[in-house]
Chain A
Amino acid sequence: MLRLNNNGIISWLLSQLALMIATAILIASIGSLVFYNDWQKEAEAKRIALSLASEIASMDLKTFPNSTLYWIDSEKANIYLSTEYVRVIRYDGNAHKKISVATPLIVKPFIYNGSVGWRNGDDLYRALCKKFCKNKDSSKIGDAEHPFSYDKKIDVENYIASELNLISKELAIHPLRIDPNKPLYIEKAYIYFKKDDSTLDRIGILIVSQAET
C-alpha cells in the first residue's frame, strides 16, 4: 500500500528515518569508543600487572644476592598480590564500573603480609635461627657468614616449602594490597649450606614485601 500512494512520501520518510537511525548508531559507536575508553583502562591495568610480574621474574634470575625497590606508577588502581597472581582492579569504568585484570606470576615469591613470610633476607635468617639454632646466642643463620651444615639442607628445604604453602593459602584468601605510596621491596636472598669440603651450596629465595618508606 505504501508504494501505491501518490507521491511516495511515506516510503521516502521510512528510508530517511532508517538512514538517520543507522548514522546515529554509527556515530554513537565511534563516540563511545573515543570517550568511553574502558578498553584503554583495561590495557593500562594489564600493563601494570605485566610490569610487576616481569620485575619479580627478573629478580629471580639473579645469581647473586640482590634487591630492588619497585614503585607502582598508578594511584587509580588497586593492586593485589598473591603467590600466583598480580590482580589490578580499578573502579572508573564506564560500561562496567569494575575493571579487573589478573596476570599469573611466573615464579612463586615469598610475600610478606605482616603475619606470615619475611620482610627481607635478614628477617629470613633470623626466622631460620629461631627455628634451627641450638645456640641461643646466635641471631642469624643461613647467610654466607653463618651457613647451615649441609646435612640440614633437607630440613631447611622442607621448612621453606611448608612456609611457602602457608603463605600461598593465606594470600589466596587475603591477597596483599599494595600501597602505591610506598615502594615494593623485592629481594633475591640465598640460604647457604657448608659441605664437608668447606665449599658452599645454596638455595635461592625470592622475597617480596611492602617497603616501610
Chain B
Amino acid sequence: MKFIGDRKGVAEEFTSLPALVIVMIGFAIFFAMFANVYMAHNEKLKAAELAEAAHYIALKLTNAESPLTDAPLLINKEKWDDVVKHEEILRKYCKPSSYNYSISISSPFVSDFKMIGGKAKGDRMSVSMKVAIKLADGDVKYGKLIVTVWREK
C-alpha cells in the first residue's frame, strides 16, 4: 500500500473526492428540483384548463337562458327535476367540446337534489357557485351549485 503511505497522494485524494461528491450531489439536486418545478408547472396548466372549463359551465348553467334557472343564479327545483329525467335538454344547451361534466347542489336546506351527469373519470376539477334555489313560489333557499369537469378521452 505505497499509495496510502504516500502523503502527497493521500492529501490530493482527500481534497478532490469530497469536491467531486459535492458537485455530483449538486447536480442531482438541481435536476430533481428542475424536474419537480416543470412537472408542477404542467400540472398547474392542466388544472387551470379544467378550472376554466368548469367555471364556464357554472356560468352557462346559471345564466337566464339555462334550462335550470328562472333568472340568473336562481335555480328552479322543478326544472332541475325535469333535467334529471331528460338530461339531453342540458346537453343540448351546454355541450363543451372535449370536456364532460356533472352537476350537483349542496344546501343545508335541501337534500333531495339528484346529481346530473356521469361519474368523473381521471383528473377532474370542481368549482362551486353560490345560487338561490326556488323550491316553490315564495320558498327560496340558498345553496351551492357544484360543477365537476373532466377531460373526455
Closest-by-CB residue of B relative to A23 is B23
* A-B pairs under 8 A by CB, number: 99
Q: Is B8 an interface residue (CB 8 A)?
A: yes
Q: Which of A19, A43, A84, A107 contacts B23 (CB 8 A)?
A: A19
Question: Which chain B residues numbered 1 to 42 have a C-beta less than 8 Å away from chain A?
Answer: 1-4, 6, 8-10, 12-13, 16-17, 19-20, 23-24, 26-27, 30-31, 34, 38, 41
Cα separation A57 to B41 with both chains bound (whole Å): 23
- Size bin of chain B's contact surface: 35 or more
Q: Which of B19, B52, B97 contacts A108 (CB 8 A)?
A: B97
Cα separation A7 to B16 with both chains bound (whole Å): 15
Cα separation A16 to B15 with both chains bound (whole Å): 10
Q: In the complex where A16-B16, A19-B16 touch, is A3 in contact with B24 (Cβ < 8 A)?
A: no
Contact in complex: A6, B16 (CB < 8 Å): no
Q: In the complex where A6-B6, A19-B23, A61-B60 touch, is A107 in contact with B96 (Cβ < 8 A)?
A: yes
Contact in complex: B2, A15 (CB < 8 Å): no
Closest-by-CB residue of A relative to B151 is A104
- Size bin of chain A's contact surface: 35 or more
Q: In the complex where A50-B48, A61-B60, A103-B49 touch, is A8 in contact with B27 (Cβ < 8 A)?
A: no
> Interface on B for A, CB 8 Å cutoff?
1-4, 6, 8-10, 12-13, 16-17, 19-20, 23-24, 26-27, 30-31, 34, 38, 41, 45, 48-49, 52-53, 56, 59-60, 63-65, 96-99, 151
> Interface on A for B, CB 8 Å cutoff?
2-9, 11-12, 15-16, 18-19, 22-23, 25-26, 29-30, 33, 39, 43, 46, 50, 53-54, 57-58, 60-61, 63, 83-84, 103-108, 204
